[in-house]
Amino acid sequence: MRNTYNFFGFLVSCIWLLSSCSSVYMPNVPNTPMFTQKGEISAGGHATLKGNFSVNGAYAVSDHFGVMMNGSRLNNHRKKEDFRHNLFEVGGGYFTSFGTNKNRVLEAYAGIGRGSSDRTEKHTDAEEVTTYTRVSGNYDKYFLQVNFTSKRKKDLRLFGNSYPLNYGTALRMSYVDMYRHVRNGEIKPTEDNIFVEPIFYTRLALSPVVQLQYTSGGNFGLKNRKALTAGYSVFSLGLVINIWGRDFNK
């Protein structure tokens, strides 16, 4: 497992370094509620290195069906680029737990969303003259996602205390279809793309309810596009709250 995580981290780092293009689409942190029974509630907030803030919420309607809502927002102003981005999603799907102690969780969700972005690139020449390239777009999003988590875990000993660690993976496939595309004030042909978005996440249980989550992930575009490209990866740190679920940390 450790070798797998190391390889995945190396692969994602390479993708991030090689992804010099900027995209209209920025992936959010996938919702991984790790449900085990009816009535369970999961909520989380995550911040990426790019300043994209994601919020996730989910509710287990029955012992095997859950619903979710996800949102993300970015409003970045930098020397070479200004970037604003918004995304909202809803979805639902199936979950089950299995294993000797029912401590492994498998989830499958599908959903739809809508997003928008506005990116302004700033180019300054040798004579200190700055030119601007502005690209904005609106799009619809459709996704399928499978999560696998092991809820029992190794412990991290820190300052004389033990903190359970949970590990998980999520594989999301997203179809993103623009319905508005503007470049420097001119209407441009819209684009679409299919993104494969694998992630790994590690959760450190601060209490039976609150967990600290680190997420690392990639973003692969299956089509060659100019504006709707795989320009960003997911590296985030956040908090996840899970209540009324089975406690595997006792």
* Total domains present in the chain: 1
pLDDT for the residue 11: 45
Mode of pairing for the β-strands spanning 210-217 and 220-221: unpaired
Within a domain: 17: no
Within a domain: 233: yes
Helix (H/G/I), strand (E/B), else coil: 5: helix
Within a domain: 14: no
Within a domain: 46: yes
Beta strands in the chain (DSSP E): 41-48, 53-60, 65-77, 81-98, 104-124, 130-158, 161-183, 186-187, 192-205, 210-217, 220-221, 234-243
CA distance linking residue 67 with residue 140, whole number of Å: 19
Q: Please list the ranges in the chain whose pLDDT falls under 50.
A: 1-20, 249-250
pLDDT for the residue 175: 98
pLDDT for the residue 2: 42
Within a domain: 232: yes
Within a domain: 23: no
pLDDT for the residue 209: 92
Q: Is the dihedral of CA 63, 202, 91, 57 positive or negative?
A: positive
Within a domain: 201: yes
Amino acid occupying residue 234: V
Within a domain: 4: no
CATH number for the domain that contains residue 72: 2.40.128.90
Q: Per-residue DSSP letters for 58-71?
A: EEESSSSEEEEEEE
Domain of 204, in residue numbers: 28-243
Do residues 66 and 37 make contact, with C-beta atoms less than 8 angstroms apart?
Answer: no
